[in-house]
Amino acid sequence: MKLTPDLHLHTTCSDGLLAPEQIVPRAQSRGLNLIAVTDHDTLSGLERVTAMPGITVVPGVELSASHAGREVHILGYGVSPEKTGLKHYLVALRAERRERAARMLTLLQKAGLMLSPDELDGISLAPGRMHVARLLIQKGYVKDTHEAFDRWLSKGKPGFVSHRPRVPSEVIRMLRADGIVPVLAHPARIKLDFLELEALLTVWQDAGLQGLEVYHRANEPFERYDRMAKSHGLLITGGSDFHGDPSHPDMGDLVAAWSNRDEDGHRFLEAVSHTLPQ
């Protein structure tokens, strides 16, 4: 079977707008046959993803870490609620997210916006900046999420609160200890020069990193990252980072640009196969 993969998708369980039940039907209508759901810091959407013949769903997660003050996102593939290291980690992360959301709202209130710190209570298991952005739109303070990030939520702006810093190598080791396949998400977003990134890849590979998300919109032109993954012997993955909103690509949008998707997809599947139901 030829693979048409999209390995980076969010649902309403984190900051996406499509419910988990709607993910597979949409993947089918977009011609995909291999997908991964990768919500931020929660696995709660996974059991709600409905199965359909002909579409393989890899259960995943996206975790935030930081290196020298820069955000580093790690995708973990082959997760399951029984994996206890990850489970404990996620409980702590979500508590931090709730506190952080309230702190962001407090800062925005101090900056003069009519908001209260409890306004996002209960909105999501993993509340984040996207939820604050949508609240600012709803209240008429900004016209879209880009403006929300540019004016209020990006680093250095009045509502910014960083995640508690976590070392990428530790996140990677924690995932590997649970048999989960760690992949570095959208490397271009880290905004490091290539030599620095190459050096860090080596460090993170020593910790257990297995793949590089080459086919992500942020990485264009992709060839440099494709070469980098090959020279490091890393799996090559890709995905739209679908959130069901206009500020991210649509599901399957990266497939056309992913020239070796069949071969890369099969290598990826082999690496996660021990975690999938037989």
CB closer to ligand AMP out of 40 and 173: 40
- Site mask for Mn ion (CB under 5 A), range 160-189, x = bound: -------------------------x----
User: Is beta strand 235-238 parallel, antiparallel or unpaired with respect to 211-215?
Assistant: parallel
Contacts of 32 (CB under 8 A, 6+ apart): 4, 5, 6, 55, 251, 252, 255
Q: Up-side HSE of residue 235: CA atoms within 13 Å toward CB?
A: 25
Residues forming contacts to ligand AMP in the complex (CB under 6 A) are 15, 40, 64, 128-130, 145-146, 149, 243, 247
User: What's the closest the beta carbon of residue 193 comes to ligand AMP, in angstroms?
Assistant: 21
Answer for the pair 242, 10: CB distance below 8 angstroms, yes or no.
yes
Residues 129-151: b if buried by 16+ CB within 10 A, e if exposed: bbbbbbbbeeeebbeebeebbee
Q: Is 73 an interacting residue with respect to Mn ion (CB under 5 A)?
A: yes
Comparing CB distances to Mn ion, the nearer of 73 and 94 is: 73
Which of 7, 11, 15, 258 touches Mn ion (CB under 5 A)? 15
Binding status of residue 248 toward Mn ion by CB under 5 A:
no
Q: Which does 247 bind (CB under 5 to 8 A by kind): Mn ion, ligand AMP, none?
A: ligand AMP
- Residue closer to ligand AMP, measured from CB, 42 or 145: 145
DSSP class of residue 204 equals H
C-alpha–C-alpha distance, residues 108 and 110, integer Å: 5
The residue behind tokens 């080791």 is 173
Residue number, 124 or 275, with CB nearest to ligand AMP: 124
* Residue with smaller CB distance to Mn ion, 41 or 241: 241
Binding partner of residue 70 among ligand AMP, Mn ion, none, CB cut-off 5 to 8 Å per kind = none
Question: Contacting Mn ion (CB under 5 A), which of 238, 241, 244, 254?
Answer: 241
Cα(86)–Cα(178) distance, integer angstroms: 7
